């Protein structure tokens, strides 16, 4: 229970700080950068070496990419049926597909399943969601917006210079290595800052305004993201008879709220900024309920 209180409290603190304008406007960006450059790499270096190469390690990767591919097709199909304009379609193709697998995935799954879930959460995030953000996300933002041009060189550069990805590569070479107790304590202390800092940043970025004319794409996005996506992940696990903890972790990750960064990219690209912010904001709040229901169904 204390984990959920911490999650809600940190988000509420961030939201309150934003409303009271206590921090500067770029505070959320600064906090996110701290998590990306320090907290998350530390956790990756601490948790990934605990893994061993097995089919279990492949489950989060297979689920992540399968769910993103299928939901992208569904989202595009429904967008055409409802005749959404190019701006809204581009927005949905970003925020509906890319999941909040680290900033929310880590604290929520840590609360439900404990620290043993974290290595697989990281695999899902880094070898699934992050690479999709850098490649698919860049392509979608470029394709649906006239504000930017796509470049293969830029995509490769983003992937190879992303601090958590660099840490992941290093950590994969260290699999099976037992760290000195001092190193473990240092990495653990730095990694533990993910939950409070990331969630305060989430609260700082919450946008809850929703114009009436955007209700249909809003409902479409969250319906696919919070209900259909985990259902697809569940079906894949059922198809391959994956019924262990790693499968549950992967299904839960598939059902997390839309990625905050995806919403930010949509806004910067001019792809329905108000809609993308509302989907991300309400999606985070609603996902606390849906992930709880999902966990109880799976356990």
Taking only the tens place, the pLDDT of each residue in 39-71 is: 888 988 888 888 777 788 899 999 999 999 999
* pLDDT at residue number 187: 92
Taking only the tens place, the pLDDT of each residue in 174-212 is: 888 888 899 999 999 998 887 788 778 878 877 777 777
Q: Give the residue among 3, 233, 262, 5 at the shortest CA–CA distance from 111.
A: 3
Task: Please give the model's pTM, rounded to 2 decimal places.
Answer: 0.82
> Could you state, in order of their start, the residue ranges of all structural domains in the chain?
2-298
Please give the radius of gyration of the chain, using alpha carbons only, rounded to the nearest integer: 18
pLDDT bin (cut points 50, 70, 90) of residue 103 is confident
* pLDDT at residue number 273: 81
* pLDDT at residue number 30: 85
Q: What is the mean pLDDT of the segment spanning 159-175?
A: 82
CATH class held by domain 2-298: mainly alpha
Contact 35, 103 (CB under 8 A): yes
* pLDDT at residue number 153: 73
* C-alpha 64, offset from chain centre: 11
* pLDDT at residue number 86: 92
Whether 216 shows a pLDDT value over 60: the answer reads yes
Owner of token pair 């653990």: 188
Taking only the tens place, the pLDDT of each residue in 265-283 is: 787 778 888 888 788 888 9
* Residues facing residue 258 across a β-bridge: 99
Q: What does pLDDT average to over the chain?
A: 87
């Amino acid at each position: 229970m204390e984990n959920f209180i911490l999650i809600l409290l940190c988000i509420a603190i961030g939201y309150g700080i934003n409303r009271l304008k206590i921090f500067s406007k770029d505070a959320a960006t600064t906090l996110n950068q701290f998590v990306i450059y320090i907290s998350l790499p530390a956790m990756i270096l601490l948790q990934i070496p605990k893994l061993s190469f097995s089919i279990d390690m492949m489950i989060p990767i297979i689920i992540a990419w399968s769910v993103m591919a299928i939901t992208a097709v569904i989202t595009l199909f429904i967008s055409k049926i409802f005749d959404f304009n190019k701006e809204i379609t581009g927005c949905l193709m970003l925020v509906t597909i890319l999941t909040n697998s680290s900033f929310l995935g880590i604290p929520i799954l840590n609360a439900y399943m404990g620290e043993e879930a974290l290595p697989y959460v990281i695999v899902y995030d880094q070898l699934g969601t992050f690479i999709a953000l850098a490649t698919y996300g860049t392509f979608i933002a470029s394709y649906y917006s006239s504000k930017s041009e796509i470049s293969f060189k830029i995509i490769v550069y983003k992937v190879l210079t992303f601090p958590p990805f660099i840490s992941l590569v290093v950590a994969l070479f260290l699999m099976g290595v037992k760290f000195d107790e001092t190193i473990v304590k240092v990495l653990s202390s730095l990694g533990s800052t993910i939950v409070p800092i990331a969630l305060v940043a989430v609260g700082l970025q919450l946008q809850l305004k929703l114009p009436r004319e955007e209700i249909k794409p809003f409902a479409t996005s969250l319906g696919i993201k919070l209900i259909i996506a985990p259902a697809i992940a569940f079906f894949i696990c059922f198809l391959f008879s994956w019924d262990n903890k790693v499968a549950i972790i992967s299904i839960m990750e598939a059902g997390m709220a839309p990625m905050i960064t995806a919403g930010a990219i949509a806004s910067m690209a001019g792809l329905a900024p108000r809609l993308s912010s509302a989907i991300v904001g309400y999606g985070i709040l609603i996902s606390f309920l849906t992930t709880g229901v999902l966990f109880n169904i799976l356990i």
